[in-house]
Structure 1
Amino acid sequence: MTKDDAIDPKGLMADAYAIEGITAEECRSIFLDWALSLPEDVDMQALIGATLARHGTAENHPMTQVLRDGLATAGKSRRRGGWKSRPRPDMDGA
């Protein structure tokens, strides 16, 4: 892992696979931190697939299962709302 690693920029996945006795819950937490640290426009399925290709040979590692679960449910991220999607009072046309 290097600082410019597009797959694992913070080294979270490499660290997770290096921790002996890590639990599935800890892996899910690390996965969430990893996913949130990625750029918004990234192809999440491609990165999860690349991470599995890199580390997925550890068949009984809980992170491998978390990544497989993530690959099965990952979709293109999209904006679902929030304050930016609400109309401003000065722009409501009234």
Structure 2
Amino acid sequence: MRLEQADPRRLIAESYRIEAIRAEECRSIFLDWALGLPVEVNTRRALKRLLAEYSMQAPDHPMTAVLREGLEEAPTPRRRGGASARRN
């Protein structure tokens, strides 16, 4: 995958250029990136491409941590509440 496909609006690239950017700001940029990604682009492949591009150059950057978090598997949802919880 080309870098232009993984970051078509260059949001991630620009986040690496912002001095003193915080993790909270990186998460906000990441969300905007994810919501604006074209449907035909595989998000996991795009994340891997972005990490390959930026993680070696900026391993301690907050956006690198956010991109790595984006690749983590979501926890399995657990059932909460319901009739059985009200009976006990």
Q: Distance in 2 between matches of 1:53 and 1:42?
A: 17
TM-score after normalising by structure 2 = 0.74
As a proportion of its length, which structure holds more helix?
2
The answer to whether the 8 Å contact 2:5/2:41 transfers is no
Q: What's the % identity of the aligned pairs?
A: 52
The answer to whether the 8 Å contact 2:6/2:41 transfers is no
Q: Secondary structure at the match of 2:6?
A: coil
1:71 alignment partner in structure 2: 71
Q: Could you tell me which runs of 5 or more consecutive residues in structure 2 were left unpaired when the two chains were aligned.
A: 75-88
TM-score after normalising by structure 1 = 0.70
The answer to whether the 8 Å contact 2:23/2:62 transfers is yes
Greater RCO, CA 8 A, separation 6+: 2
Task: Give aligned pairs, total.
Answer: 71
Runs of 4+ more than 2 Å apart: none
Structure 1 vs Structure 2 CA RMSD: 1.6
